[in-house]
Amino acid sequence: MTESTPTPTGIRSVRETNWSHLIVLLKAQWVGIATGVALGIAWTVGKIAVPLLTQSAVDSAIIGDGSALKWSIGIACAGLSTGLLTAGRRFFAFKESRMVETLLREQIHDHVLGLHPEYHDNAQTGQLMSRMSADLNQVQMFVVMIPLTLSHVALILGVTGVLISLDPLLALVALLPLPFVNVTAKLFSNAIHPAVLAVQAEQAQLSTVVEESIAGVRVVKGFGAEHVRMEALTTEADDIREVSLQAAKIRAKYMPFLELLPAVGLVGVLGVGGLRVIDGSMTVGELVAFNFFVTLLVWPLRSIGMTVAFGQRAAAALDRVHEVLSVEPEIADPVEPCDLPVVGEQPVGAVRFDGVSFAYGDGDDVLSGFDLTIEAGQSIAIVGATGSGKSTVARLLLRFYDPQHGSVTLDGVDLRSLRVDDLRRTIGIVFEDTLLFHDTVAANIAFTVPSMDLDAEFGRIRHAAELAGAASFIEELPDGYNTLLGERGYSLSGGQRQRIAIARAIISNPRVLILDDATSAVDPSKEHEIRSAMSTVMDGRTTLVIAHRPGTIAMADNVVLLDEGRVIATGDHQGLLNTEPRYREVLAALEPGDAEAVVN
């Protein structure tokens, strides 16, 4: 699925929005939400009690000769109870809304990590970040309004019932604006939804620009292209300002009416009620209570506009979240998974590609009728021109993709019959572009074994570092293995990062080790250090080496030459140099500055 900026064209209404993901989470949190609603209903009773007590106090204690103390105590108790209930309902409202936000964020995060690499090849990182941050914040603000709005609805119904019981005619005057409030809220809802969706889409685009600028800051600075990225940021910021102003104009058009209409009822009550007090058909206490009740209606009726706005933002956010959650992973666990043979006396790690054909998307075949057998414990170097399919072989072995034809097996088991996690835990890989996380050195090495206790199993971490040739420089770092690395590990040199990556790959003792151009980004003067570490960890382990430097290729037991997606020659490095002109051509083209090494 290719991420694209949503546009207002064909936007669905709130009723048509896919709310299923939110509804499932709301059901899971129903106890806390129901508690908030129950406290809101009790709060409604307390709010209604205050005007009734005030009416009795005015008529019996102020107009009459009764004692004001008992009524004052009663009003104070009702007010105190209402205050405590307000705190309770808001606590549960925010508690459950934050929990829903957290669960939904975890759901999106897990789903995104489980999606096939082809999805990530096309998706924009900024768009995904926006869905997991800004969009979920909109959903959270809507959820927090659910118990609050229900309590406001209960207050409106309760006050309406009391007003009708006290004086039906005056109640009609007080509630006359209510239908106009509902109509205005409906018009506001229909008008604001496309504008809100456009704002959130532009915010996601801005996130993409910012993410790319920060992630690529070295490229930006290296080419002196700060002004180019600034122009891109300015463009997106201007777009956000324009669509935000459009949304603001819509709010400015409708919100004054939503706030003014409830006050019209209060003016009517003062006018009609005042005349009725003068002619003696209503007591002063009743008029005070009526005004009090109408005042109570003002904020709940105003909040309808706020709830509608939050609902529209949540609807737009849920549309964008659903775009991600509705994507089905192309690489999934089988219904009845198989297990790999248990590690024992028999060697493990045998790999076989049998008649494999594969193409990315609708493109031409990268591999066509590809056959390769790697015996357990054997190391194979795959060599070929750019685009010949070398890295594709590694991606198929990791099951980042499935072949369109043929099969890939590990220890005789088809990869599609294994659980994806089980497969990838048995394979260690060192990528060409080494990524280390913003964490300690020890945590980065233990990354592939999440259950590891860093303190209790420190010896295992150090042993992996020693095998990878990383122990000496790690111990020289300010805090040794507890040194906190900067983002992506850029505080270390390329060779140091690569050796930590090798330690990370072997700490789980994988059956198969993939070295995907692991020395290409390392300075040639330091390559021998990496090769030494690689030689140690390759010993006795099935290893797939993808390389273009002759010194690295020569480390493998055998070399496979790829051309146009097929194996055209196999043998050891020196033998192919002596007998295969195409092999010499490929090495010379891949490493033009190392012609002497190719010849020798």
pLDDT in tens, 7-20: 333 334 444 456 77
Residue 392, amino acid = T
pLDDT in tens, 429-439: 888 777 888 88
**Residue-level pLDDT at 397:** 92
Tokens in use for 120? 């990530």
CATH 3.40.50.9100 at 436-509, yes or no: no
Give, in degrees to the nearest 5, the angle at Cα 577 between 572 and 578: 100
**% of the chain at pLDDT higher than 90:** 7
Among candidate residues 340, 422, 380, 404, the one with its CA nearest the CA of residue 544:
380
**% of the chain at pLDDT higher than 70:** 89
CATH for the stretch 14-325? 1.20.1560.10
Tokens in use for 5? 């900026």
Confidence of residue 527 (pLDDT cuts 50, 70, 90): low
What is the rounded radius of gyration, in angstroms, for the C-alpha atoms of the chain? Answer: 35
Cβ–Cβ under 8 Å, residues 139 and 101: yes
**Residue-level pLDDT at 221:** 67
**Residue-level pLDDT at 16:** 45
| Residue 461: pLDDT over 60 | yes
CA torsion sign, 394 to 397 to 401 to 405? positive
Helix H or strand E segment including 196: helix 178-215
State the greatest distance between any 2 C-alpha atoms of the chain, in Å, as a whole number.
Answer: 120
Cβ–Cβ under 8 Å, residues 300 and 156: yes
Confidence of residue 356 (pLDDT cuts 50, 70, 90): very high
Cβ–Cβ under 8 Å, residues 573 and 556: yes
**Residue-level pLDDT at 11:** 36
- Of 118-122, 275-279, 480-484, 515-519, minimum mean pLDDT range: 515-519
Confidence of residue 592 (pLDDT cuts 50, 70, 90): low
* Domain residue extents for the chain: 14-325, 436-509
| Residue 488: pLDDT over 50 | yes
Give, in degrees to the nearest 5, the angle at Cα 214 between 122 and 446: 80
Among candidate residues 377, 417, 425, 372, the one with its CA nearest the CA of residue 398:
425
Q: How far apart, in whole angstroms, are the C-alpha atoms of residue 110 and residue 300? A: 39
Confidence of residue 357 (pLDDT cuts 50, 70, 90): very high
pLDDT in tens, 74-103: 888 888 888 898 898 889 888 888 888 888
Q: What is the pLDDT averaged over residues 250-265? A: 80
| Residue 69: pLDDT over 50 | yes
Average pLDDT of the chain to the nearest whole number: 81
Q: How far apart, in whole angstroms, are the C-alpha atoms of residue 238 and residue 231? A: 10
| Residue 163: pLDDT over 80 | yes
**Residue-level pLDDT at 373:** 92
Q: How far apart, in whole angstroms, are the C-alpha atoms of residue 399 and residue 416? A: 8
Confidence of residue 1 (pLDDT cuts 50, 70, 90): very low
- Cβ-count burial 412-438 (b if 16+ within 10 Å, e if not): eeebbbbebeebbebbbbbbeebebee
Q: What is the pLDDT averaged over residues 52-64? A: 74
pLDDT in tens, 206-222: 877 887 777 677 667 66
| Residue 2: pLDDT over 50 | no
Instruction: Report residue 326: phi and psi, to 5°.
Output: -80, -10
